[in-house]
A and B are shown apart, each in its own frame.
Chain A
């Protein structure tokens, strides 16, 4: 298969497969979780579930000062690459074109040099996180090959995207094909790994808050 044929495959069939797996996987996972249900709580409600839940979504997204002191690096680096992923995925002009073609929704892009800088920061943050993981005894002990795989799946689109934009090391079609392929890998892995948190994190936070709200305690 030549490079152009590979590129056409990842832009066509490959993308279709990845999208189907992503959409089906995420929906199945969410339905499964929702269908688990909750036991009827016989205690009297001491407060509102909804507002407490919404409040918790915000409050749990801001680090506590104590835990920030304890693991400032993890939190800062974590924020950098999460925001970086958001910016590079959703605010880069070619990506917005793709999204608006598929969904009809579009929005203005950030200037390319800014997205470029953010991508570099995110890559550095992810690399630093890996180094940190191996330098810390406890983290190293807790690390499984699965964690490394997820780390790879996350950083790969950033790196391939960066070299595709700057056209480093491979031919144009190959660079683009490899970048799209790495994204498709991410799409396929996402629903079946801890990366599902992309879709479940706010649900889970809301639920934590809702439990506390029902009990009338602070979350």
Chain B
């Protein structure tokens, strides 16, 4: 896709050769800082780093996925600034987006992997089936083989979407394909998890930009997610939080509380346990996010959100089906109680029988 000489250029060179003015570059840096959830005080630093950044090669592999993540990413591409980022990276392989297909596409991948060995970024969306390699193949190559081969020469791996990061819907109970995440298979490479179903577009580009800007991985949390985007819970950044604190909840989707914009906790909101940037970055270029549209958060950026009990049941409700268990337990316990009681009575009876009375003669002995 990109010519060889292009790869030696810095981002500053690329922008200037595209006739991008310094003002435009400043705008680009300001919106980039905002996108990466960085303080505006960092803008000059970002400008300097971007100016000198080298154009990295990116290989994008899609496994068991729905293409929602790519859809999300291309929505990010709708804005000029993100377009610029993608002009400045070289997306050498993405079988959904690239024009080449078949052997040509596979050759492009091989070439990029060979040329940039040890330096390219590997982006993965979708989970990997381990039960039978035939469940998901590309050009006759199993997902597992393709991932392992591409991972070998990667500088870092970005797992995009909940499928690649935690197994996602394919892994939902009973996990028919034996789906696993990227980090389940690869232990010796830095992996950035960018979960979400799909992730927020600018979060995907933000992570790519961070790598492009600083040439290093962003700071990650325990689940391998960049803290800049996943550092705070939906609940803690939710504009409906004051209603939660007051105990004002919508009981149904169309009651007075729902119309007044009260907290959606009782309708199953996963905000308190979900870490993502939706509440501040928002979706569709900052239009809104699910809670703002009146729907509880599903917790799509957390592991196993699909098996965490009904989406519309409050977090305080146990996921276990306790009702029937309690009935059987109670019946069994009642029987056990009666049996133990009978045993105690028998013990008492025999103790009574064995009891010997002390007579006056005994004491005088």
Contact = CB atoms under 8 A, between A and B. Distances in A.
A binds B: yes
Interface of A: 2-5, 7-8, 11-13, 15-16, 19-20, 23-32, 34-37, 93-95, 97-98, 101-102, 109-113, 115, 167, 171-173, 176
Interface stretch (B49-57, B69-77, B338-346): B338-346
B109 interface: no
B68 interface: no
Given A4-B304, A171-B275, A94 B316 contact: yes
B326 interface: yes
Given A32-B344, A35-B344, 14 more contacts: A2-B223, A4-B304, A11-B308, A15-B322, A23-B329, A28-B333, A28-B336, A28-B337, A34-B341, A98-B316, A98-B317, A102-B323, A112-B245, A173-B273
A7 B308 CA distance: 9
B322 A27 contact: no
A172 B273 CA distance: 5
Contacts of A7: 273
A131 B338 CA distance: 42
Contact of B340 (A5, A20, A31): A31
13 contacts: A15-B319, A15-B322, A16-B320, A19-B329, A20-B329, A24-B329, A29-B337, A35-B342, A97-B266, A97-B316, A171-B275, A172-B236, A172-B275
Interface of B: 222-223, 233, 235-236, 244-247, 249, 265-266, 272-275, 302-304, 307-309, 313-320, 322-323, 325-326, 329-330, 332-334, 336-338, 340-342, 344-345, 348
Given A31-B341, A109-B247, A172-B273, A19 B319 contact: no
Contact of A19 (B308, B325, B334, B341): B325
Nearest to A179: B316
Given A20-B329, A98-B318, A173-B273, A36 B341 contact: yes
Contacts, number: 141
Given A4-B303, A11-B320, A27 B247 contact: no
Nearest to B299: A4
A93 B247 CA distance: 7
Contacts of A25: 333
B333 A27 contact: yes
Contact of A13 (B245, B320, B341): B320
